[in-house]
């Protein structure tokens, strides 16, 4: 499969890498590009040799937003009638394997929102995050008001979304939006690939269940969430990999997963 706006590779065992590659527009996101992202993630999600994915952009821009030129002439009927932005939800809503975003350079508007859709966010210190939609007469439209608020708290998110002010990779880390922050873009991408490789070395079944139960915590209260977790935990005693993993520990051997 050849793509026009993204690059797809498998740089480490079990790891799928997706790089946004529309340099002329600082990786601005428009529908054809999002459809390519969906195709790539769907293929990796189905590929049994892949255990985790990394999503990144260039050193200059993860993505400088949704494509303002694509949006500028739309009216309400165009947007509502065609479910504008709905295709963006495929990665967070349907991809079952973990996705790590490695954010360098600009991650503005829809770029920031796309980064936040990943399961884990890594960035470099000078990454430039922001939700500047208010400056264009609109609001975040791909989950920014919800995911940013959940990640960094209401007061900070409100300030950022109301002012359109940017924040750095260091801020993203200090506020808990990023799991880790790195000095350079190279280190950031390397670390994301290394983490993806680690995840890909585990049982696919266990990894899938980890992602499912953590995501459930976003929708359920603590009591129901813990009950859900326990059901899934119990279910894993029916998998071969539970036997393989626990027996290997007891025998001081490396587990050879069935579901890999």
Q: Where on the chain is the footprint of ligand HXC (CB under 6 A)?
A: 25-26, 28, 64-69, 85, 106, 108-110, 113, 132-133, 136, 140-142
Cβ nearer to ligand HXC, comparing 133 with 171: 133
Nearest to 229 by CA among 239, 244, 219: 219
Looking at beta carbons only, is 101 or 195 nearer to ligand HXC?
Answer: 101
Q: Toward ligand HXC, which CB reaches closer, 26 or 205? A: 26
Single out the catalytic residue among 19, 36, 113, 125: 113
Q: Is 48 helix (H, G, I), strand (E, B) or coil?
A: coil
Task: State which residue, 27 or 239, has the beta carbon closest to ligand HXC.
Answer: 27
Residue 111 known to be catalytic = no
Nearer to ligand HXC, 46 or 135 (CB): 135
Written as six digits, the tokens of 17 are 């890498």
Question: Smallest distance, Å, CB 16 to ligand HXC?
Answer: 24
Of the listed 65, 105, 110, 144, which one is catalytic?
110
CB of 201 to ligand HXC, least distance (A): 34
What is the nearest approach in angstroms of ligand HXC to the Cβ of residue 65? 3
C-alpha to C-alpha distances, 154 to 51, 107, 163, 245, nearest whole angstrom: 34, 20, 14, 41
The DSSP code sequence of 66-131 is B-HHHHTT--HHHHHHTTTTGGGGHHHHH--S-EEEEE-SEEETHHHHHHHHSSEEEEETT-EEE-
Report the nearest approach of ligand HXC to the CB of residue 70 (Å): 7
Question: Is-catalytic flag, 133?
Answer: yes
Burial class (CB in 10 A: 0-12, 13-18, 19+), 60: middle
Collapse the DSSP code of 224 into the 3-class scheme (helix H, G, I; strand E, B; otherwise coil) and give the result.
helix
Q: Is residue 102 within 8 Å of 155, Cβ to Cβ?
A: no
Q: Is 153 a known active-site residue?
A: no
Q: How far is the CB of 127 from ligand HXC (least distance, A)?
A: 12
Catalytic, out of 28, 111, 133, 192? 133
Q: Annotated catalytic sites, by residue? A: 66, 110, 113, 133
């Amino acid at each position: 499969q050849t793509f026009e706006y993204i690059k797809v590779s498998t740089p480490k065992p079990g790891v799928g890498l997706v790089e946004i590659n529309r340099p002329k527009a600082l990786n601005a996101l428009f529908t054809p590009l999002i459809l390519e992202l969906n195709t790539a993630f769907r293929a990796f999600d189905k590929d049994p040799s892949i255990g985790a994915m990394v999503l990144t952009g260039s050193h200059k821009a993860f993505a400088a937003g949704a494509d303002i030129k694509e949006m500028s002439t739309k009216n309400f009927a165009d947007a509502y009638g065609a479910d504008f932005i709905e295709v963006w939800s495929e990665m967070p809503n349907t991809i079952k394997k973990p996705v790590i975003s490695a954010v360098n350079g600009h991650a503005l508007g829809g770029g920031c929102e796309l980064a936040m859709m990943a399961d884990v966010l890594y960035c470099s210190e000078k990454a430039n995050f922001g939700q500047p939609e208010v400056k264009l007469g609109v609001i975040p439209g791909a989950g920014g008001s919800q995911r940013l608020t959940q990640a960094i708290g209401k007061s900070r998110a409100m300030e950022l979304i109301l002012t359109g002010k940017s924040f750095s990779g260091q801020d993203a880390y200090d506020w808990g939006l990023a799991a880790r922050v790195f000095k350079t873009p190279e280190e950031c991408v390397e670390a994301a690939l290394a983490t993806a490789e680690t995840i890909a070395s585990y049982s696919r079944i266990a990894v899938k269940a980890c992602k499912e139960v953590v995501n459930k915590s976003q929708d359920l209260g603590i009591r129901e969430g813990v009950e859900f977790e326990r059901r899934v935990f119990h279910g894993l005693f029916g998998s071969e990999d539970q036997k393989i993993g626990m027996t290997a520990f007891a025998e001081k051997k490396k587990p050879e997963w069935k579901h890999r």
